Chains A and B, each alone.
Chain A
């Protein structure tokens, strides 16, 4: 490692950083609309809609045809492969529709999780084969960023050292390949909220995982300024008996990031995991008002937390489309405000929330 063999030219670096900055421009975040066919089944079944290609197209159309109100809240949209090549009713490609309104087009490039033998149900993520060629093609077809999701679990025995190291490594390989093809990699090391562990435990694991991720990115010569991070917020497990306030969640989350994410990383776009739409917005807002120095943009990359109400309003009916789109716009605006620390949920007064932050030495 003593000599540098430059991975990127100055121009390539500038392009990558510019793309990353545009996606997380102040007040903007990402609409994660990249649910795979299998995941879409889970979304459409509960509302009684058949999981057909046409229904998936119609559903994404009602999100992408939202009016200009989303232009100031949505910096990027992550597509699933199928969706990248679909069109609106009047024949406009979705990618063009999104790009023409100044929103950056992204693409999910991983090929799902596979088991790690010898572990307690842990996984790594596949998709590196031919990734370079796929990225080059996606770039031609309008995409400027990509997403790859790795998954870790908290339990008595997990995450294991192998799972952490292996997932950090695949994320770094993916990131390196993307950048070679002018694609900004969103790095997603999701630690699932399943379990009864408390906030402290999640914070500890998140810190260890992210430290490993950034060491791997360094080892693989990834240009951090041209990347985004998509982590879980630090939250208690779903079955944890203790309740924590959004300020506690924010402090734990920001502390974990401050201990592991170098300032060169342009932005952190949180996943919503199992959170409700409102929870995800309130927590993002608390994160942005947390009184610690935060040198990266802190915004959203939400799937369910942007779409749940829209799906429920739609139920597959043509005459519900406008109402469904409105629901989506509403959440987009709420999260745009949350990314600026200006969201006032109907529940609490915004100003009062600031005083609830506990001294950070407890984290």
Chain B
């Protein structure tokens, strides 16, 4: 490793860096609309809609036809492969609809999780085969960023050293390949909230996982200024008996990021995991009000937390489309305020910014 064999030209670096900055411009975040066919089945089943290609197209159309109010809230949309080539009722390509309003197009490029033999139910993520060619094609078709999701679990035995190392390595290979093709990689090492572990445990695991991710990025010569991170917020497990305030979640999340994410990374776009729409917004807002130095943008890359109400309002009925779109716009605007630390919250919260964050030394 003593000599550098440059991976990217100055022009390539500039392009990647500027793309990343545009996605996370102040007040903006990402709409994760990249649910696979299998995931869409789960979403649509909950509202009694059949999982057909046409229904998937109609639902994404509801989101993409939102009016100009979302232009200042949404910096990027992540597409699933199928959606990238679909059109609106008027025959306008979804990609064109999104790009024409100044929102950047991204595409999910991983091919799902596969088991890691010899572990306790852990996985890695596949999709590296032919990834360079696929990225080159997606770039031609209008995408400028990509997403790859790795999954880790917390339990008595997990995450194991192998799962951490293998997933970090895969994320780094994916990132390297994307950048070679002018695509900004969104790096997603999701630690699931399943379990009864507390906030501290999640923070500890998150710190270890992210340290491994950034060491792998360094080893693979990834240009950090041209990447984005999509981590979980640090939260207690779903079945944890203890309740934590948004400020505690924020302090734990920001501490974990401060200990592991180099300042060169332009933005951190949190995933919402199993959080409700309001929870996710409240937490994001608290994160942005946390009184610790935060040298990266802290914003959202939400799927369910942007779409749940829209989905429920729609229920597959044409006459509900406008209402459904309004629900989405509402969440987009709320999260835009949250990523600026200006969301005053729902019924239970008063003035944004006047909160008790407590001492950082307990984290």
Chain A contact residues, CB within 8 Å of chain B: 1-4, 10-11, 13-14, 17, 154-161, 164, 200-201, 204-205, 207-208, 211-212, 214-215, 218-219, 224-225, 255, 258-264, 293-295, 359-362
Contacts and interface: CB of A to CB of B under 8 A. Distances in A.
15 contacts: A4-B201, A10-B359, A13-B361, A14-B361, A156-B2, A204-B3, A208-B1, A212-B215, A215-B214, A258-B262, A258-B263, A260-B218, A262-B261, A263-B294, A359-B10
A215 B295 contact: no
B2 A211 contact: no
Given A211-B215, A361-B14, 5 more contacts: A2-B205, A201-B4, A259-B262, A263-B263, A264-B255
A2 B159 contact: yes
Contacts of B164: 1
A267 to B, nearest CB: 12
Which of A2, A258, A264 is packed against the most chain B CB atoms within 10 Å? A2
A201 B6 CA distance: 11
Interface string B304-323: 00000000000000000000
Contacts of A261: 262-263
Interface in B168-218: 200-201, 204-205, 207-208, 211-212, 214-215, 218
Contacts of A159: 2
Nearest to A17: B361
Contacts of B159: 1-2
A260 B262 contact: yes
B214 A211 contact: yes
Given A2-B154, A2-B159, A14-B361, A293 B4 contact: no
Contact of A10 (B2, B11, B255, B361): B361
A218 B211 contact: yes
A317 B205 CA distance: 60
A10 B258 contact: no
Interface of B: 1-4, 10-11, 13-14, 17, 154-161, 164, 200-201, 204-205, 207-208, 211-212, 214-215, 218-219, 224-225, 255, 257-264, 293-295, 359-362
A263 B324 CA distance: 41
B211 A214 contact: yes
Contacts of A161: 1
Which of A154, A211, A219, A362 is packed against the most chain B CB atoms within 10 Å? A211
A310 to B, nearest CB: 36
A14 B224 CA distance: 31
The 3 closest A-B pairs by CB, nearest first: A211-B218, A218-B211, A4-B204
A4 B200 contact: yes
Contacts of B260: 218, 262
A292 B229 CA distance: 20
Which of B157, B159, B361 is packed against the most chain A CB atoms within 10 Å? B361
A201 B3 contact: yes
A21 to B, nearest CB: 12
B10 A361 contact: yes
B208 A1 contact: yes
A159 B212 CA distance: 22
A158 B205 CA distance: 34
Nearest to B4: A204
A218 B206 CA distance: 12
A4 B252 CA distance: 15
A258 B255 CA distance: 17
Contact of B295 (A201, A205, A255, A293): A293
Contacts of B361: 10-11, 13-14, 17, 225
Which of B160, B211, B212 is packed against the most chain A CB atoms within 10 Å? B211
B14 A295 contact: no
Nearest to B212: A215
B264 to A, nearest CB: 4
B295 A295 contact: yes
A359 B225 CA distance: 13
Contacts of A214: 211, 214-215
Contacts of A293: 263, 295
A295 B264 contact: no
Contacts of A212: 215
B2 A154 contact: yes
Contact of A14 (B155, B157, B214, B359): B359
Contacts of B200: 4
Contacts of A260: 218, 262
Contacts of B11: 361
Contacts of B3: 201, 204
B193 to A, nearest CB: 16
B10 A362 contact: yes
Which of B13, B160, B295 is packed against the most chain A CB atoms within 10 Å? B295
